[in-house]
Structure 1
Amino acid sequence: MEKKQGFSVLGMIKKVACIDGSSPDSGKGKSEYKSSSNTNKVCHGFHLVEGKSGHDMEDYHFAEYRKKKGHVLGLFAIFDGHLGDRVPSYLKDNLFNNILDEPNFWEDPKAAIKNAYRSTDKLILENSLQLGPGGSTAVTAIVIDGKDLWVANIGDSRAVICRNGVPEQLSVDHEPHVERRRIEKQGGFVTTLPGDVPRVNGQLAVARAFGDENLKAHLSSEPDVCNVRIDSNTQFVILASDGLWKVMNNQEAVDMVKHVKDPQAAAKRLTAEALARKSKDDISCIVIRFG
């Protein structure tokens, strides 16, 4: 988002070659998983770059595989914080657990994801003394048995799927000018100063976010949720913070990595290109490959 300036490379790189039940942030290298008859192969890699903005990195990522109720789940997310890193850190530790703990997750994933996003935001606001006044965007992806993909988001971190070289955006960029009517109906306003982007109450450049207690009356924590089937034409998904999407459109991102089989190399290529295009924001990227 708008809160970070400049850059310096962070050495946070991980490659997990296949579904393997590994824990997040467990180090570098590869691990192998022989897929069963009901599970398609899933691979991922990530790369993060810190902005040189006078504060610590506020982007977080999550990448983990879990076995649950006879299914293999791939859980992936980008959290882009603002006004500190406590809210994205909290989301990394809690959001997926809250989603999977919803009693109706297997029967109605969409309702479960929406409920978990709302309840998690409520908990963040109730603990604002500990978590501070900041907030975070989120884009989450849940891959079930390598066949079924559920994407949800609030804010402007984005998910793009590639099928046969053609991109499709699975998330919604929640921009203030698009939601101006709702924001004004809730007593807020949207300003656009010369040379700047639209902002809620002149402050935040997204219309939906976790946290942000001081703006919450005018912000939404309602996620957009999308479900797609992963078939033989599905190549990969890119999850990234707006530090990437500010300088690159969906087609450019897909074209850049569609022939890169190593997902970690693909993620690193995307962040390197964003830097070359003078992105001054924190840049976080996960590439998930199928088949």
Structure 2
Amino acid sequence: MATVAPGGEITLDAYNHRSIGGRHYQEDRAKAIDDLNELIPESTKGDRSIRRALYCVFDGHGGDACSEFLFQNFHKHLLEKENLCEDPKAAIMSTWDECEEQFQSRMTARYDRNAKGFKPKKEGDKPKFPGDGSTATVCLIEGNKVYIASCGDSSAAVIRTNKSLEKFTREHHTVDPEEVARIEAAGGELVQKTIKTPAPFPFCCTKMVDKPLGKPRVYPGGLLVTRAFGDFQAKLPVAGGIPGSIIHTCDPIREVMIEDDWQYFVVASDGIWDGLTDEQVPKVLKQELDDAQDDYGKGDDNKEKVRKRVVKGFVESATDSEFWRKNQCDADNTTAIILFFK
């Protein structure tokens, strides 16, 4: 739970929950540091009376090596930046590139180790470059200001007291025309997978048609996201990748002021945003809050129990969504960090 800072700052509490969904593995990671000032080196210039906190969601794919690396290291590299307090945007951008470079070094070392002992099963077999990757949504709070950086399809959004939702991130996926154009210009290719289904009436008993199955995938790599950390099998020529196709670059960092009408600020993996529509998110949060308050009460003494219950119920609503059944797939790993303001 976040500390309450003085000095006119809007108070907040943060809680998070993860679900494995219908998968047999958990590749999501959530990092929540409620008081970043405690970890900033004394040598770093800056006013420590200003509230600082860090909330990140890393959604791994192709393994959990990349999301785990970011979980363990992103905040450490950020804390090393001498300009963290004076120029947060520059500090985040420097950390962004540094993490990509360091993870590439680690995966290259792993590839080299594996290549030394590689024994081909048939002619032409070659060792594969590690395919671990991860999205990232990073939110740095400074006073009543939030700095938001993101790559991939995890997102950050505010839900106001009037139940409206506004996303502060752009999802980098394969149905974004700008991303598609960028990938194709670099030499990448998008492929739509299909599944055979009965044709519409009256041909349903005699004819099968191809129905799109999910979103297109980027090749090389076979990815559903167009930007991510890692995924060097799609980025490096030595691994069969195409430079400039899948990239780790985030959009320009958003700088947003926390306002009096903010009720929730949600940082979440795509399991939330796929499982629930933008229209459903505020409704689900309201229902979960009503249910939790019915069970525990509305008093301040029960606030922590209520908010933990809200986050857990919110995530479970996404994993239990009809979306997964309609798309004939298991529910994804699903993670949410929710900042409560009211």
Smaller-chain TM-score bracket: 0.7 to 0.9
Query: Which of 162, 170, 173 is matched with 1:172 structurally?
Result: 170
Residue of structure 1 in register with 2:33 after alignment: 64
Residue of structure 1 in register with 2:283 after alignment: 255
Which sits farther off after the overlay, 100-109 or 203-212? 100-109
- Do residues 84 (structure 1) and 56 (structure 2) align? no
Residue of structure 2 in register with 1:7 after alignment: none
Q: Say if 1:160 and 1:250, in contact at 8 Å, map to a contact too.
A: no
Q: Say if 1:46 and 1:263, in contact at 8 Å, map to a contact too.
A: no
Distance 1:162 1:53, change over 3 A: closer
Residue 285 of structure 1 aligns to which amino acid in structure 2?
Answer: A
Distance 1:51 1:276, change over 3 A: closer
Residue 209 of structure 1 aligns to which amino acid in structure 2?
Answer: A
Q: Say if 2:152 and 2:227, in contact at 8 Å, map to a contact too.
A: yes
Q: How does 1:87-236 map to 2 (within 5 A)?
A: 87-128=66-107, 129-130=109-110, 132-145=130-143, 147-164=144-161, 165-178=163-176, 179-194=179-194, 195-201=213-219, 203-216=222-235, 217=243, 218-224=245-251, 225-236=253-264
Secondary structure, aligned partner of 1:249: coil
Q: CA RMSD in A?
A: 2.0
Structure 2 stretches of 5 or more lacking a match? 41-45, 112-129, 195-212, 236-242, 290-302, 325-330
Rounded to whole Å, the distance in 1 between the matches of 2:87 and 2:33 is: 22
Structure 1 stretches of 5 or more lacking a match? 1-15, 20-32
Deviations 1:73-105 (A, max 9, x none): 221111110111111111011112223433333
Which sits farther off after the overlay, 203-212 or 95-104? 95-104
Rounded to whole Å, the distance in 2 between the matches of 1:177 and 1:233 is: 32
TM-score by length of 1: 0.82
Cα drift, residue 111 of structure 1:
3.0
Q: Say if 1:77 and 1:239, in contact at 8 Å, map to a contact too.
A: yes
Which contiguous aligned blocks of 4+ residues in structure 1 show a shift greater than 6 angstroms? none
Q: Say if 1:62 and 1:76, in contact at 8 Å, map to a contact too.
A: yes
Residue of structure 2 in register with 1:30 after alignment: none
Q: Say if 1:48 and 1:271, in contact at 8 Å, map to a contact too.
A: yes
Cα drift, residue 166 of structure 1:
1.4
Residue of structure 1 in register with 2:320 after alignment: 276
Residue of structure 1 in register with 2:198 after alignment: none
Query: Which of 275, 288, 291 is matched with 2:339 structurally?
Result: 288
Rounded to whole Å, the distance in 1 between the matches of 2:23 and 2:110 is: 24
Rounded to whole Å, the distance in 1 between the matches of 2:315 and 2:16 is: 10
Which sits farther off after the overlay, 102-111 or 200-209? 102-111
Residue 86 of structure 1 aligns to which amino acid in structure 2?
Answer: A
Rounded to whole Å, the distance in 2 between the matches of 1:99 and 1:250 is: 31
Rounded to whole Å, the distance in 1 between the matches of 2:223 and 2:136 is: 15
Distance 1:243 1:233, change over 3 A: same
